[in-house]
Structure 1
Amino acid sequence: MSAFNAIGEKREVQREDFTPGIEPQATWCPGCGDFSVLKALKGAMTELGKNPDEVLLATGIGCSGKLNSYFESYGFHTLHGRSLPVARAAKLANPDLEVVAAGGDGDGYGIGGNHFTHTARENHDMTYIVFNNEIFGLTKGQTSPTSPKGHKSKTQPHGSAKDPVRPLSLSLTSGASYVARTAAVNPNQAQEILVEAIEHDGFSHVDFLTQCPTWNKDAKQYVPYIDVQENDEYDFDITDRREAAEMMFETETALHEGKVLTGRYYQDADRPSYGQEKRAVGEMPEVPLAERYHDDSYEWERSYDMLDPHK
């Protein structure tokens, strides 16, 4: 029995299945890169044969937080910076559920930065999409953690005195087992990367460059972009942490020098996920909690009933 009887059900899935009837048309600003994230996510789920009942999308606050309003699946619109702990809990309670978390650069690398580093460290089996437009968009254009040094905004009228966060490098050093960067202007690559990220067993972090034509005109369109896997100038092994780290540093430096590099940067396919580790040492039940409490005949347990105080 599955906690959701649609999980694992074999049926043909169309992209339109992920378009909700209540809010079928996204209302982001014209030219916003967020439209590309929505399109790529719908395409990836369709390509993987997932149906909406098999997916949970947890989002934070901001323009990116509206993603689950425009995407038909189970959804949870969390507090600012808190999409990851909600997504982690859902995945641990029901491992068969395909869990995706999403948030902006301020939401994910600033307010929720602690959750980001520890979710990566523990290697929870989920995909985290960060809409990186280098600005706080919903609150009308304040400096964000990824805004470049010298960037002028309402909160930094004389220019930011701080170096920006390096999200790819931070993700790798924290322990993410799949790290990639794509851009709204490269929809084919974006869908391919999301497919790989969702299929990966472990924490997948996708830094998604999304232009904000309303509040961050400096970033423009993130073009022209270079795919590091398709350009002969860049040759590195994505399974080698040292080589990946060097390529990430070059990519993050180049972005603020006018060169947009995208692609896959790191993957560790052998590392067990957090759930696998916990089940291996007997700290998680073999039958998921979601399975138990979906069964009306199951007798509820309390945490203190599951623990042996003498161990």
Structure 2
Amino acid sequence: MSAFSAIDEEREIDRDEFTPGIEPQPTWCPGCGDFGVLKALKQAMPEVGRTPEETLLCTGIGCSGKLSSYFESYGFHTIHGRSLPVARAAKLANPGLEVIAAGGDGDGYGIGGNHFIHTARENHDMTYIVFNNEIFGLTKGQTSPTSPMGHKSKTQPHGSAKSPIRPLSLSLTAGATYVARTAAVNPNQAKEILAEAIEHDGFAHVDFLTQCPTWNKDAKQYVPYTDVQQSDDYDFDVTDREEAGKMMYEVESKLYEGEVLTGRFYVDEDRPSYGEEKRAIGEMPEEPLAEKYFDDDAEWERSADLMHYHR
């Protein structure tokens, strides 16, 4: 019998299974956009046929980090900016696990920016949800990497002198194979995008606009919004990197002009994931390491023993 017999178990899945019994009620501020992420994620999981036992959710530090406490699955609450390396290790050790990482804009694009770039570059098979509210919320309202130029905060009382990071463009340039933006005020689209991202084989990056009514009243509710896939004003090929890049630049510019554009911006279904590439060249075993080392009869190997030194 498999040590991970819950993986690929075929049964009906209800979204209520993803509500934990110990701490089911989130303690985010009233009106926080993080509620929208939690709801969309709970709705998306049954759509892709994954159970709590088949899912790992890694979170960083910040308001977004509480997500793993309010979502029933395996969870790992990492340190600031480090949800991605933990998620990568888990996926490499147990490829059958559905791995989701989550963090805020400060956690993901600031402290963890290096991990974000290289996880996208290597195309690890996981979903990365970034709660983007343009502010550091949990630490009480400091300027973040996505705060607009001129935004006044505790750390920039005269207004930020820096242009905000362009997360969609950065993701595309780094090598992500699924890039999308949605918003807490658009729950139906959010559920659909998260389901697509989770089903995608490769690194799927979802920039999730989450309003912060307590510490960032400038961003308001991210409304009105326009779904670029539903609008006649926008026509581009999501599989074409050049067209996607131009569209992303327009989307990122208009956000700070008061126009919120959401949707799918780039999808590459052909590029193999990091794990697939490694297995194809023989640098990763076909049998998951997590499965192997759960077996009492398995012979343990040290990586140093597998190396050949030449003098």
Bucket of the pairwise TM-score, normalised by the shorter protein = over 0.9
Partner of 1:235: 235
* Unaligned residue ranges in structure 2 (runs of 5+): none
Determine the C-alpha separation between the residues in 2 that align with 1:73 and 1:3.
17
Moved more, 215-224 or 11-20: 11-20
Q: For 1:218, what is the secondary structure of its paired residue?
A: helix
Matched, 1:77 2:48: no
| 1:64-103 equivalence runs, <5 A | 64-103=64-103
Query: How far did residue 15 of structure 1 move?
Result: 0.7
Query: How far did residue 3 of structure 1 move?
Result: 4.0
Partner of 1:195: 195
Query: How far did residue 309 of structure 1 move?
Result: 3.9
Letter of the structure 2 residue corresponding to residue 305 of structure 1: D
Letter of the structure 2 residue corresponding to residue 117 of structure 1: I
Partner of 2:250: 250
Determine the C-alpha separation between the residues in 2 that align with 1:244 and 1:11.
38
**Post-superposition CA distance 1:16-55 (Å, at most 9, x none):** 1000011101110000000010000010001112110000
Letter of the structure 2 residue corresponding to residue 293 of structure 1: Y
Matched, 1:116 2:116: yes
Distance 1:120 1:50, change over 3 A: same
* Contact in 2 for aligned 1:3/1:94 (Cα 8 Å): no
Partner of 2:287: 287
Q: For 2:226, what is the secondary structure of its paired residue?
A: strand
Letter of the structure 2 residue corresponding to residue 110 of structure 1: G
Determine the C-alpha separation between the residues in 2 that align with 1:293 and 1:246.
47
Partner of 1:50: 50
Determine the C-alpha separation between the residues in 2 that align with 1:180 and 1:309.
45
Moved more, 277-286 or 176-185: 277-286
Determine the C-alpha separation between the residues in 2 that align with 1:158 and 1:197.
39
Q: For 1:294, what is the secondary structure of its paired residue?
A: coil
Matched, 1:267 2:267: yes
Determine the C-alpha separation between the residues in 2 that align with 1:51 and 1:285.
25
Distance 1:177 1:3, change over 3 A: farther
Query: How far did residue 63 of structure 1 move?
Result: 0.2
Determine the C-alpha separation between the residues in 1 that align with 2:99 and 2:2.
16
Determine the C-alpha separation between the residues in 2 that align with 1:14 and 1:286.
32
Query: How far did residue 305 of structure 1 move?
Result: 2.5
Query: How far did residue 2 of structure 1 move?
Result: 3.9
| 1:141-156 equivalence runs, <5 A | 141-156=141-156
Q: For 2:80, what is the secondary structure of its paired residue?
A: coil
Determine the C-alpha separation between the residues in 2 that align with 1:28 and 1:110.
22
Partner of 1:162: 162
**Post-superposition CA distance 1:223-260 (Å, at most 9, x none):** 00000000000000000000000000000000000000
The CA RMSD measured in Å over matched residues stands at 0.8
Distance 1:306 1:2, change over 3 A: farther
Partner of 2:134: 134
Partner of 1:178: 178
Determine the C-alpha separation between the residues in 1 that align with 2:88 and 2:47.
24
**Post-superposition CA distance 1:264-309 (Å, at most 9, x none):** 0001100000001111111111111101011122121111223344
Letter of the structure 2 residue corresponding to residue 303 of structure 1: S
Identity within the alignment, %: 81
Q: For 1:147, what is the secondary structure of its paired residue?
A: coil
Q: For 1:247, what is the secondary structure of its paired residue?
A: helix
Equivalent pairs, count: 310
Normalised by the size of structure 1, how large is the TM-score? 0.98
**Post-superposition CA distance 1:109-132 (Å, at most 9, x none):** 000000000000000000000000
Letter of the structure 1 residue corresponding to residue 80 of structure 2: H
Letter of the structure 1 residue corresponding to residue 54 of structure 2: E
Q: For 1:266, what is the secondary structure of its paired residue?
A: strand
Partner of 1:20: 20
Distance 1:3 1:273, change over 3 A: farther
Determine the C-alpha separation between the residues in 1 that align with 2:16 and 2:4.
21
Matched, 1:223 2:220: no
Letter of the structure 2 residue corresponding to residue 292 of structure 1: K
Distance 1:251 1:3, change over 3 A: farther
Determine the C-alpha separation between the residues in 2 that align with 1:106 and 1:135.
7
Determine the C-alpha separation between the residues in 2 that align with 1:173 and 1:6.
37
Letter of the structure 2 residue corresponding to residue 163 of structure 1: S
